[in-house]
A and B are shown apart, each in its own frame.
Chain A
Amino acid sequence: MIPVLELQNLSVDLPLGGFLTRGGLPILQDVTLSVGRGESVALVGESGSGKTTLARAVMGLQAISGGAVRFDGKAVAGRDGFARLRRDAAMMFQDATASLSPRLTVGYLVTEAFRIHRQPLPDPARTARELLATVGLPPAIAHRYPHELSGGQARRVGVARALALRPRLVIADEPTAGLDVSVQAEVLNLMADLRRDMGLAYLIITHNLAVVRHVADRIVVLYLGRVVEEGPTAEVFAAPAHPYTASLIAAEPKPDPRKRRADLAIRGEVPSILRRPKGCEFHTRCPLARDVCRLTAPDLRPTTSGRLARCHFADQHQE
């Protein structure tokens, strides 16, 4: 079956310097991933790992410098390609309130996709009510302005906006950012319900591993703009093949603080992308780094358990 979204060796460079100096700063390097129909894939990594850039590149908000984006098996290119992608895929932004145009009412905002893509909208008020009902908001919200919404309401409006044209893929950038825990759970449950009811595929960008466990079928771990591990969520959590993944999982707050693995704790800061470490880019922070890691960069290759990992010792340190 053709995946909904495929990224092939996607690279994004941030342009550097003036008009005489060419070249750029690589933000994403050779990212290959796919999201199947109805599948939920989580993209995780620390701040600065390129997660948000990836989402923007997919939606055409960020110029790509290499590789290809394929939607429904067709390469996305040109005005028509992006118009189709933007109709059949939707993006939810990290800051839900800031991503709503401030001078327009919620009623207008949730039905705007119909107007943009010239879809029939015989009764805007009714469509708005229905969409708001889908995300569990009362109809009266339609008359409010974005600054009159709470964080959770704004997030739900964002979901309603994304769902307006019944997309097949939703890219959600930190869907739980800025929400308190009970509202986080509500939003995640809502997203899970909608996925079941509408057959949506999700690409969820987050650094919150609790979210990943809750909603993702598969997980892709980014480090400095490269995929370092990919595999089914349960397997990755049970036995991470890359020490970075292991460190992320170890760093997650645990109900019992004594169970935290101090030996796997991540050290130091993310290296600057201006000065990428030689060899394996993670060796500066890796608890398991050896001499070979400082010299040779590992490739992303299958492990014995059938996942992908970018580590020389992926098969050895799985416990």
Chain B
Amino acid sequence: MSFVVDPALPARRGIGRALLADPMGLAGLVIVVTFVAMALLAPWIAPYDPIALDVKAKFLTPSAAHWAGTDHLGRDLLSRIIWGARLALGIAITSVGIAGVIGLVLGLVAGYGPRWLDSGLVLVFDSLSSLPMIFFALAVITVLGPGTLTLILVIVLVSFPAYARLIRTQTLTLAGADYILAERAMGARPGRIIFRHLLPNVVGPLVILICMDIPVVIMLEAGLSYLNLGVKPPSPSWGNILAEGYTSLRQAPHVVIVAGVPLVLATLGFTFLGEGLRDVLDPRGAGRRWA
């Protein structure tokens, strides 16, 4: 995957407007903003306590009192979905954010630093990305025990090498640019060149890649939680809700459906937004949406 962001096109102010003009980007933006708002406002908008049991009211189908119905322990599913958004986005954004920063710094250092450091770092990136993601995740979870922090650690470890490699490639192509030579000729030291002159010019593609990785991470979190290897119950992870709903699929199919819809929507929303951003920031790739 290679993106080159032409700084001349479009101007910074134009990005938002161009994104709004693209129907898919707009849809993605709306969905993402909705989920982010849900996550941020969870304590205020959730009608019930997501872990409060009400055994008498179990397996209720959607109604005026429980818009999305209740699960096998009588917990309000809408509230669990809303709090689940907080968990899913919280984990996804935190882990991808940490991975992004690590990937950015290591990629810049590998791309602009001395040759031996580059070789060493590339070895690390390649080793980490050669591990199959799920097995690596299972191994780490087996050693450290399941939990939110383990989950974040796993996601950071499996995603930062791709970011670092993207940034390294970008940095390598820019390292010979006239303006970098000009800065060196003015006596700028490597730290200044890396952080003030290279970073702003390589970070654009990373933002796109990160945005497109968030749905992957949401799925990974839900998947591991579904397998009881992620967020521990009774925390309302979408994966947990799905796993619990699955056991009662015949009695109450609405539980699985209700938990699946936000997962599908969130995944779709971030993917659309990421692709919309890519098309806006990298006009040469426009039209190859599904390529």
Contact = CB atoms under 8 A, between A and B. Distances in A.
Contact of B183 (A98, A101, A147): A101
Contact of A147 (B8, B182, B200): B8
Interface string B175-201: 001110111111111001000110011
Interface stretch (A85-93, A131-139, A228-236): A85-93
Contact of A86 (B7, B8, B186, B200): B186
Given A61-B181, A91-B182, A91-B185, 18 more contacts: A60-B184, A90-B185, A93-B181, A93-B182, A93-B185, A98-B177, A99-B178, A101-B182, A101-B183, A101-B196, A102-B8, A103-B7, A113-B186, A116-B188, A116-B189, A116-B192, A117-B187, A161-B186
Nearest to A79: B189
Contact of B7 (A91, A94, A112, A147): A147
Interface in A219-251: none
Q: Give the dominant DSSP class at B's interface.
A: helix
A161 B187 CA distance: 13
Contacts of A102: 7-8, 179, 201
A83 interface: yes
Contacts of A145: 7
Nearest to A162: B186
A101 B181 contact: no
Interface residues of A, number: 27
Nearest to B8: A147
Contacts of B182: 91, 93, 99-101
A43 interface: no
4 closest residue pairs by CB, A with B: A86-B187, A102-B7, A103-B200, A147-B8
A99 to B, nearest CB: 4
Contacts of A100: 179, 182
Contact of B201 (A103, A112, A161): A103
Which of B7, B184, B187: most chain A CB closer than 10 A?
Answer: B187
A103 B203 CA distance: 12
Given A93-B178, A98-B177, A103-B200, A116 B185 contact: no
Contacts of A87: 187
15 contacts: A60-B185, A61-B184, A86-B186, A90-B185, A93-B185, A98-B178, A98-B179, A101-B196, A102-B201, A103-B7, A104-B196, A112-B186, A116-B188, A145-B7, A161-B186
- The size bracket of the interface on B is 10 to 19
Nearest to A102: B7
Contacts of B188: 112, 116
Contacts of B8: 102, 147
From A82, A104, A112, A145, residue with most partner B Cβ within 10 Å: A112
Interface in A54-89: 56, 59-61, 82-83, 86-87
A30 interface: no
A94 B187 CA distance: 18
A60 B189 CA distance: 13
Contacts of A103: 7, 200-201
Contacts of A83: 187
A86 B179 CA distance: 15
Given A103-B200, A147-B7, A116 B178 contact: no
B206 to A, nearest CB: 15
In the complex, which of the residues A86, A102, A113, A145 has the most CB atoms of chain B within 10 Å of its own CB atom? A102
B243 to A, nearest CB: 47
A195 to B, nearest CB: 20
A100 B7 CA distance: 12
Interface centre among A101, A102, A103, A117 (most CB of B within 10 A): A101
A130 interface: no
